């Protein structure tokens, strides 16, 4: 009886599963990844991957040990010169002249020559053109006859939290790898870049990013560049759900300056700022909680001339909302000294629009 009962129960459950697969009396359903469109059509990542992958390269750098003290020189005398340090990362082709953007930390310390492996497995020698440690970006160049396929830039101001994105790179030396996720947040400052001029306003994504992805592409569903993958937040050093990319608008500004001037010319408002917290909002009796608080206006700079005052709250630049200091620094840092920008402020509850000439 036990055998018969178990057999009946097994067959009943098996029959139910078959029926459910056919769509009747369903407890379990097929699950498709959809784009939320009116027809519930599945998301197709293939076009974005096919369009962006040829523009992403593998980068290998070699750093020879350089003694920094007499002690290290003595150690080299007794034990010989240490083996060169080899590191790997990714890069993105930005034009047909052979310029490639990557991270500063990928090529930092490279002994002049960088080895680039293209999507079609050609190995090319590249030269470091210039670096910008304040944004952790760098530009290298291969010969323009290399017939590389550049990526198209998207406007990172249009990126929305929750939209699909792909990370393209070479994680853990696995060439031409694509992972998918969403934009988890914007304007992140994670204090990973050192220095007074450090500029962080990262796009945060949950697309899997690991060591080797640095300098690779973060793209939208059109395969257009929205960011350069730069960092991960992880207790282990490997992917833990949080990755960060430099927004494409800032990337475009920095690489153009590095190519033309070998340095970055960054605009400035001429103010000291702070994020709005509960204490500031209460003490200053602010009518808005989103925006950037102007703590000080520097005499003789663009902000003062335009009429910005201490205690104002900056809410937008060129019509694009800024919610924190990181976003404001990115919007201003993406422009040149001498540029005139429209800055929206809130003063005592009243909205105003001012035109500021950047310093």
Q: What is the number of alpha carbons within 13 Å of residue 146 lying toward its C-beta?
A: 28
Q: How far is CA 176 from the centre of its chain?
A: 18
Chosen CATH of 156-261 out of 3.40.50.300, 2.40.10.10, 3.90.1150.10, 3.40.50.20: 2.40.10.10
Decide: 149 and 55 in contact? Cβ < 8 Å.
Answer: yes
Which CATH class for the 271-357 domain? mainly beta
Question: Residue 115's beta-bridge partner residues?
Answer: 60, 125
**Could you tell me the residue ranges of all domains in the chain?**
56-146, 156-261, 271-357
Q: Please determine whether the domains at 56-146 and 271-357 fall in the same fold group of CATH.
A: no
59 Cβ partners below 8 Å, 6+ apart?
A: 88, 89, 90, 91, 100, 102, 106, 107, 114, 115, 116, 117, 126, 140, 215
Distance CA 220, CA 207 (A): 12
Q: Give the pLDDT of residue 280.
A: 95
Greatest CA separation for the chain: 95
Q: Specify the fold of 56-146.
A: Thrombin, subunit H (2.40.10)
Note down pLDDT in tens along the chain; length 359 residues: 344 344 434 444 433 333 333 333 433 433 344 454 445 568 999 999 999 999 999 999 987 655 566 665 555 555 555 566 788 999 999 999 999 999 999 999 887 679 999 999 999 999 999 999 999 999 999 987 778 999 999 999 999 999 999 999 999 999 999 999 999 999 999 999 988 789 999 999 999 999 999 999 999 999 999 999 999 998 888 889 999 999 999 999 999 999 999 999 999 999 999 999 999 999 999 989 999 999 999 999 999 999 999 999 999 999 999 999 999 999 999 999 999 999 999 999 999 999 999 99
Q: Which residues are catalytic?
A: 105, 136, 214
């Amino acid at each position: 009886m036990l055998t018969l009962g178990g057999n009946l129960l097994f067959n009943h459950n098996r029959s139910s599963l078959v029926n459910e697969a056919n769509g009747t009396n369903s407890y379990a359903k097929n699950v498709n990844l959809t784009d939320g469109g009116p027809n519930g059509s599945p998301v197709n990542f293939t076009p974005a991957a096919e369009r962006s992958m040829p523009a992403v390269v593998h980068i290998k750098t070699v750093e020879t040990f350089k003694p920094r003290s007499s002690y290290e020189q003595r150690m080299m005398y007794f034990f010989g010169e240490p083996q060169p340090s080899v590191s790997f990362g990714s890069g993105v082709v930005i034009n047909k002249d052979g310029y490639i953007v990557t991270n500063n930390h990928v090529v930092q310390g490279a002994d002049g020559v960088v080895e680039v492996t293209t999507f079609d497995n050609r190995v090319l020698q590249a030269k470091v053109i210039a670096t910008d440690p304040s944004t952790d970006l760098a530009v290298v160049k291969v010969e323009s006859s290399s017939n590389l396929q550049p990526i198209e830039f998207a406007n990172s101001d249009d990126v929305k939290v929750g939209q699909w994105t792909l990370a393209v790179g070479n994680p853990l030396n696995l060439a031409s790898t694509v992972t998918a996720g969403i934009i988890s947040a914007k304007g992140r400052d994670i204090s990973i870049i050192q220095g007074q001029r450090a500029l962080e306003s990262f796009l945060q994504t949950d697309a899997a990013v690991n060591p080797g992805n640095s300098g690779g592409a973060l793209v939208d569903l059109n395969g257009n560049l929205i960011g350069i993958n730069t960092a991960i937040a992880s207790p282990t050093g490997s992917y833990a759900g949080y990755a960060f990319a430099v927004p494409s608008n800032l990337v475009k500004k920095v690489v153009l300056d590095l190519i033309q001037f070998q340095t970055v010319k960054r605009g400035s408002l001429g103010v000291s700022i702070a994020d709005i917290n509960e204490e500031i909002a209460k003490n200053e009796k602010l009518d808005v909680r989103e925006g950037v608080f102007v703590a000080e206006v520097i005499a003789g700079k663009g902000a003062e001339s335009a009429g910005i005052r201490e205690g104002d709250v900056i809410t937008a630049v060129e019509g694009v909302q800024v919610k924190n200091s990181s976003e404001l620094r990115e919007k201003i840092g993406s422009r040149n000294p001498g540029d005139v920008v429209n800055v929206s402020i809130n003063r005592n509850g009243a909205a105003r629009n001012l035109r500021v000439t950047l310093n």
